[in-house]
Structure 1
Amino acid sequence: MTNNQAKKLYQTGIELMGYGKSQEAINYFREAVEANPSCMEANLELGYLVGATENYEEALKAFDNALKIQKTFPGLFGKGICHFFMEEYGKSLDAFMDAQEIGENEDLWYYLGSLHLIYTDNIEGAINCFDMAISINEKFIEAWNDCGVAYSILENDETALVHFKDALDIDPEFKPAIYNMGATLVDMERYEESLKYLDRTLESEPDNFKALFYKGNALYSMEKEEEAVEYFKKALKVDKDQEELWNYLGYIQSSIGQNHEAIESLNQAIKLNNDFEEAYINLGNVYLALGKDDLALDRFKRVLEIYPDNEEILREIEDLKGN
């Protein structure tokens, strides 16, 4: 094929994109690249389209081919996106930083912020990047929401709440912000308010582990222990490998007299983590409440095997031996 034929294939692909026929367009861009590997435009369009289908390996190859022809913002940005979704965060950051030397847009700032959150642990840097994205596009709902998450990590809950509300002003049905409102309100001990948002999350996502956990936590803090237990159980049906929650559940069960259920929950926590000091302590206390001092002593001794300097447990063991 000639270069002119490659251009015709590329143009046909563009026309098909205009009609929403993405898969057919992909095929034409592939043919255009095969006909003329130096057709930068076809490589770029191919990269973005196959990337949208989560075929990141092929997309990355297309962007690399485009960048061999010319170093452009779309090529570097596309490369950064591929590495981001392939969870190759270092390579993603490098590509985005190279792109930033050429140009910028709200998406670039957003992904840089995301990388600061999940890769570099630079929370202040993440906030700055999200703010830049919002300054370019004030309706960038994901940036509002994720900036709120960053403020939550910094325990600046009031500012986080403002950002989640701003996201919901853009779209009242934006699920991440609805959940984050609920979780943040729990952290702020505004439990009654939190339930409104957590319930909205659970209406559409009944198996949302975090929402179930936060609702259970809110109910427990409202001294509705039995309701809390039910929500923690629902959460554990979603993810049974949460040792901390098994321990928490066991502690609450013991506090309302469900000692036998508590034993099962605490043993499950220990099964997941044989060195779980707190679970052994809680289990020992349950056995004490049941008058099973020998079993309690055995669990407390196990605590000392894990942490020999636990003075409180040392005293507890001495008291039990004295009896």
Structure 2
Amino acid sequence: LKADPALAIAWVGRGFALGKLGRYEEEIICCDKAIELDPHCSDAWVGRGFACGMLDRFEEKVWCCEQALALDPENATAWNNKGVALGMLGKFEAEIRCCDRAIAIRPRYLSAWVNRGFAYGKLRWYEEEVLCYDRALKIYPFYFSALLKKGIALINLKRYNEAREVLDRALTVEPDDPKALYRKGLALSMLSRHEEAVACLEQALSRDPGIADAWVVLSNSCFMLGRLEQSARAFDQAYYLDARDVRMGMRRGLSMLKNGRFDDALRSFSEVFGILLR
């Protein structure tokens, strides 16, 4: 930029670097500068959309992706990112359609296959979800996100032994991941292997004590083993976390309402109701 301050792609690159540092507002400013210099720079619109998504501005992210696609309809990244944003707005069938477009352009697009599966999962179409993760894992067998999400989908299908095996594979890639440890503990609990479940859940919670669902499952497994005091302590911790998350979710939703972000507010309130119904 010192040599040529009018080089649009350099502004995109600067924005990308700032985004890697978590400075998303500054990334947007850089992308805006790139668009001002070159209105046909689709990469700038994609970068801007990504930053908006990281700031939970999902409607704006959709709009940015649409601007990119108007310039370059074959931009697989823009289709995938638009799908992610639509999914965050609860529009899962639209997300699947966007992922389909991304995959048609780039058939080995790992992220698009995983996002497609995630959207199917949100629609409770778990068999289709598993197939998407299988496609991703055929391309790259050690893709942690696909392994973890496949394990979760298999739990939802009550295929607990298969889920445990897949989660074991995930843990060979990321041995300390608390989400994978929790889900493996859940699968073991559902198989009535409570001693193993407790050990797994305690590992998960030592790494992330904020997983309320893991405390609930730990409470249940301890109860089944006759460890009533430990069961009660785990349940109390889950209740404390749920109450905290409800308060935070309500405050976040009300703030979004005041700022006119109605879809985001609805999503936040839906998460609160999910906690209350657990």
TM-score, normalised with respect to structure 2? 0.78
2:83 is aligned to: 113
* Equivalent runs, 1:36-115 vs 2, <5 Å: 39=6, 42-52=7-17, 54=20, 56-72=24-40, 73-104=42-73, 105-115=75-85
2:176 is aligned to: 207
Cα gap change, 1:102/1:237 in structure 2, threshold over 3 Å: closer, same or farther? same
Cα gap change, 1:274/1:176 in structure 2, threshold over 3 Å: closer, same or farther? closer
Larger RCO (CA under 8 A, 6+ residues apart): 2
Cα gap change, 1:257/1:111 in structure 2, threshold over 3 Å: closer, same or farther? same
For residues 45 and 220 of structure 2, the distance between their equivalents in structure 1, rounded to whole angstroms, comes to 52
Equivalent pair of 1:145/1:164 in contact (CA under 8 Å) = yes
Cα gap change, 1:262/1:76 in structure 2, threshold over 3 Å: closer, same or farther? closer
Q: Find out whether 1:32 has 2:1 as its counterpart.
A: no
CA RMSD of aligned residues (A): 2.3
SS of aligned partner of 1:32: coil
SS of aligned partner of 1:158: helix
Equivalent pair of 2:92/2:119 in contact (CA under 8 Å) = yes
Cα gap change, 1:121/1:76 in structure 2, threshold over 3 Å: closer, same or farther? same
2:232 is aligned to: 263
Cα gap change, 1:202/1:107 in structure 2, threshold over 3 Å: closer, same or farther? same
Cα gap change, 1:74/1:236 in structure 2, threshold over 3 Å: closer, same or farther? closer
Equivalent pair of 1:48/1:59 in contact (CA under 8 Å) = no
Most deviating of 173-182 and 162-171? 173-182
SS of aligned partner of 2:45: helix
Residue 135 of structure 1 deviates from its aligned partner by 0.4
Percentage identity across aligned positions? 26
For residues 61 and 31 of structure 2, the distance between their equivalents in structure 1, rounded to whole angstroms, comes to 13
Equivalent pair of 1:144/1:164 in contact (CA under 8 Å) = yes
For residues 47 and 231 of structure 2, the distance between their equivalents in structure 1, rounded to whole angstroms, comes to 52
Structure (1 or 2) with the larger CA radius of gyration? 1
Residue 191 of structure 1 deviates from its aligned partner by 1.8
Cα gap change, 1:139/1:273 in structure 2, threshold over 3 Å: closer, same or farther? closer
1:177 is aligned to: 146
The amino acid of 2:212's aligned partner reads E
Equivalent pair of 1:63/1:75 in contact (CA under 8 Å) = yes
* Equivalent runs, 1:304-319 vs 2, <5 Å: none
The amino acid of 2:155's aligned partner reads V
Most deviating of 50-59 and 248-257? 50-59
Equivalent pair of 1:198/1:211 in contact (CA under 8 Å) = yes
TM-score, normalised with respect to structure 1? 0.68
SS of aligned partner of 1:101: helix
Task: Give deviations 1:76-112, integer Å, cap 9, x for gaps.
Answer: 2332233233443332222222222222210110000
Equivalent pair of 1:148/1:164 in contact (CA under 8 Å) = yes
Cα gap change, 1:59/1:221 in structure 2, threshold over 3 Å: closer, same or farther? closer
Residue 273 of structure 1 deviates from its aligned partner by 5.0
| Unaligned 5+ runs, structure 2 | 245-278
2:92 is aligned to: 123
1:236 is aligned to: 205
For residues 157 and 120 of structure 2, the distance between their equivalents in structure 1, rounded to whole angstroms, comes to 13
Equivalent pair of 2:12/2:43 in contact (CA under 8 Å) = no
Residue 70 of structure 1 deviates from its aligned partner by 4.0
Equivalent pair of 2:142/2:170 in contact (CA under 8 Å) = no
